[in-house]
Amino acid sequence: MIQRRKVIIGSLGVAAAAATAGTAAGCSSTKASADTNPVFTTPEAETEALATTPVAAPAKVTVTPAHGAKEWSPAKPIVVTVADGSLKSVTVTSGKTKIDGEMQSDGTWQSTEDLDYSKKYKVVATAADSLGASTTTTATFATLKPDNIARVTFQANGLASLKTGKNYGAGQPVIVAFSHSVNKAAAEKAIEITTSPQVEGKFYWSSDSTVHWRPAKYWARGTTVKVKVNAFGTKLGKTTYGGKNASTHFTVNRQLIAISDNRTHMTKVYIDGKLVRTMKSSLGRGGGTTGKNGESISFWTAGGPHVVLSKERYHTMTSASYGVQDKNDPNYYVSENVEYCTRITYSGEFLHAAPWNGQLGEANKSHGCINLSMKDAKWVYENFILGDVVDVTHSPRKLPIYNGLGDWTVSFDKYGRD
């Protein structure tokens, strides 16, 4: 290496000498001299050239939730942002499942579908800096692992689910049922109820998992009721979180209210305030007995507003259903295939056909049901719907709020959480 460097230097010396000699003899022009002059680069010049070469800051990718997170709410979106660059691709997976997402107007990426509880997720994001150089960032996290997940259903009453988009009567409360006991305040906060026309309403909890909501007065004709429960990802108890969000809606297409008078033995039906039918009736005969387990049994038809719960073309009625099971008891009975039965309490009060009762409109002879003629019972069966109101007046026994939908037996100022 040392000898070769000497040779090169020697050659440069010869060239320099030749150039000098040529100039002295006057045989060289100015242009020729410029073309043949060697160019030398100093260390200072090289440093200056490097300083002017474009250098890009590396793209910085941020994933939310942060890498290693363990209690992420599955209801929250995954967000990927980048500084000093632009996102090129984002992939989110949980095992073989891919989570959809899309780029936002501000250049960030956001997931567009809910995640799931108790899952692990992997995020792989690729970004490019201002000169096009790529950076790939990988992050993993886990979602909440609740001990209990409270799923949401909607009920018309304890015997029937609410059918979305169907017509219900003026006495139909909103009923939201959770599959586990929940914190009442948290659950109420998650429930959104929108009515048209707008009305004020209150919650009443029939149990630790089922809540009712009713307005101050019966629903008016044409009212629409929309219900949404924002349960997913919501903490509804110490170790309980909400299941998937749920929604429903129903309409009150007409307001039907029946007034059954225990004193006059008549039942009058009003639709939108207009009397449309008057029916001879026979209500509970009064008095009572003691059931098999010592329970007190009353034969009065309970007083106050009832709500239609179900309808059965035929129903077998027996005293055993409420505790009188001894066939030797004078209060024992079995009536098979009673026709046109419209139920108004869980305990077994119906409007139904009673062709055997010869004192319709004259006296109360039933065990608590509202006896009607075959023709009138058929009309009720065909025209009443779930949620219609049957208000029993002048009865000495009051309908308890828990026996059917007794929500309307309580004044609005006393109707409350529990």
Which residues are designated catalytic? 352, 369
CA distances from 104 to 91, 98, 101, 240, 336 (A): 15, 19, 9, 33, 67
Contact 333, 367 (CB under 8 A): yes
Calculate the dihedral angle through the C-alpha atoms of 54, 57, 59, 62, rounding to the nearest 10 degrees. -170
| CA-CA-CA-CA torsion sign (343, 264, 278, 216) | negative
End-to-end CA distance of the chain: 99
| CA-CA-CA-CA torsion sign (221, 222, 223, 229) | positive
Parallel/antiparallel/unpaired status of strands 201-205 and 191-196: unpaired
Provide the β-strand partners of residue 61. Answer: 82
Provide the β-strand partners of residue 201. Answer: 215
Task: Render the burial of 382-400: b for 16+ CB within 10 Å, e for the rest.
Answer: eebbbbbbbbbeebebebe
DSSP string, 334-361: EEEEEEEEEE--TTS-EEEE-TT-TTTT
Query: Helix or strand or coil: residue 209?
Result: coil
